[in-house]
């Protein structure tokens, strides 16, 4: 499922009410949690790079990621006293989230990260809020804003710096840059579809629980038929452990994100986007020893500027006290 894209995609508690109730002490706590979330989410790209390093293929990896996610979501929903979604409309929404929010974007992500540095993949993923804005305009869910359109343009300029041969001084195949962008497009589309059609009364954890279960059922035969099945013994390998850790981090951080939206508001919580990208580059440097040229750093700055401009203007977050 997706990283935050600037939209209140899975209907957590009213973010405006939460935001107005946030005190200075709460803001300090939420800021610390935000940093932990960004560090965790940012680590999933380097871990994904490790997971594919020995030849494990995307369908097998996606199955186990969904299986682990479903198991954890089952535990979380049991502790919260919520049940598995059962209505037809609820199952349809879960199917959409499974396909557009996990299966398609993770298929392209796992394939592209074989050919791209993990830090580059993190930078390209920061296009999510910009794609979300463009798709919202196309779907009539948002109004045109010159400021946010400029943000989209800056993001595309960042992609240009990465993709154009010679611009970044790295041997990066333009094809795989374009494939990597599909993930962000899917996440932006997912958020807008949920914003348009709602979640049929489900909370975010129920949506992710249902989507993970449905995705697991879909991907099991696909992984076997494609010859990409990964045996459970792979959990003992470095690559298997990287996948398990990435899956655990994603579920726990997403749970933290849902809590953050409910406590501090969506505008505050979505600032994790900057941290995810920044930490993704940092972890790629520390874990994988990746190095970047001046063109890549310029692309990162353009992406940060694009994210800043494309997000809705923040309202007051701090209440007296």
Q: Please tell me the predicted confidence (pLDDT) of residue 122.
A: 93
Q: Please tell me the predicted confidence (pLDDT) of residue 19.
A: 45
Q: Please tell me the predicted confidence (pLDDT) of residue 252.
A: 85
Q: Please give the Cα distance from 213 to 166 (Å, whole number).
A: 44
Which tens digit of pLDDT belongs to each residue from 249-282? Answer: 988 888 788 777 777 776 677 778 889 899 999 9
Q: Please give the Cα distance from 49 to 37 (Å, whole number).
A: 20
Average pLDDT, the chain: 85
Q: Which of 261, 281, 262, 263 is nearest to 271 (CA)?
A: 261
Q: Please tell me the predicted confidence (pLDDT) of residue 2.
A: 54
Q: What residue spans of 198-293 are helical by DSSP H?
A: 204-225, 238-264, 266-269, 272-288
- Retrieve residue 54's tokens: 């020995």
Q: Which of 48, 55, 100, 79 is nearest to 250 (CA)?
A: 48
- Retrieve residue 190's tokens: 């997912």
Spell out, as residue ranges, where the chain has pLDDT lower than 70.
Answer: 1-22, 165-172, 266-267, 312-321
Q: Are 158 and 122 in contact (CB under 8 A)?
A: no
Which tens digit of pLDDT belongs to each residue from 87-134? Answer: 999 999 999 999 999 999 999 999 999 999 999 999 998 998 899 999
Q: Which of 131, 100, 124, 134 is nearest to 177 (CA)?
A: 124
Tell which phi-psi region holds residue 13, choosing left (phi > 0), alpha (psi between -120 and 50) or beta: beta
- Measured N-to-C along each axis, helices 24-51 and 272-288 cross at an angle, to the nearest 10 degrees, of 40
Q: Please give the Cα distance from 103 to 68 (Å, whole number).
A: 14
Q: Are 281 and 293 in contact (CB under 8 A)?
A: no
């Amino acid at each position: 499922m997706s990283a935050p894209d600037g939209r209140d995609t899975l209907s957590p508690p009213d973010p405006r009410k939460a935001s107005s109730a946030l005190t200075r002490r709460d803001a300090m706590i939420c800021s610390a949690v935000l940093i932990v979330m960004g560090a965790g989410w940012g680590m999933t790209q380097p871990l994904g790079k490790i997971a594919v390093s020995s030849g494990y293929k995307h369908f097998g990896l996606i199955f186990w990621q969904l299986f682990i996610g479903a198991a954890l979501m089952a535990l979380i929903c049991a502790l919260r006293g919520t049940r598995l979604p059962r209505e037809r409309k609820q199952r349809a929404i879960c199917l959409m989230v499974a396909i557009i929010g996990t299966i398609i974007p993770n298929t392209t992500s796992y394939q592209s990260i074989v050919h791209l540095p993990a830090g580059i993949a993190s930078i390209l993923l920061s296009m999510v809020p910009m794609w979300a804005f463009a798709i919202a305009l196309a779907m009539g869910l948002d109004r045109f804003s010159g400021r946010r359109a400029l943000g989209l343009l800056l993001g595309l300029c960042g992609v240009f710096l990465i993709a154009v041969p010679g611009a970044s001084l790295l041997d990066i195949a333009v094809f795989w840059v374009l494939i990597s962008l599909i993930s962000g497009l899917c996440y932006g589309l997912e958020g807008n579809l949920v914003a348009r059609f709602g979640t049929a009364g489900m909370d975010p954890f129920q949506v992710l629980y249902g989507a993970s279960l449905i995705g697991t059922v879909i991907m099991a035969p696909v992984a076997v038929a494609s010859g990409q099945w990964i045996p459970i013994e792979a959990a003992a390998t470095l690559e298997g452990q990287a996948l398990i850790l990435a899956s655990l981090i994603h579920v726990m951080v997403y749970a933290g994100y849902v809590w953050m939206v409910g406590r501090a508001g969506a505008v505050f919580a979505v600032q994790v986007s900057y941290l995810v990208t920044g930490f993704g580059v940092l972890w790629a440097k520390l874990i994988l020893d990746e190095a970047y040229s001046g063109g890549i750093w310029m692309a990162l700055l353009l992406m940060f500027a694009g994210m800043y401009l494309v997000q809705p203007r923040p309202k007051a977050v701090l209440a007296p006290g």
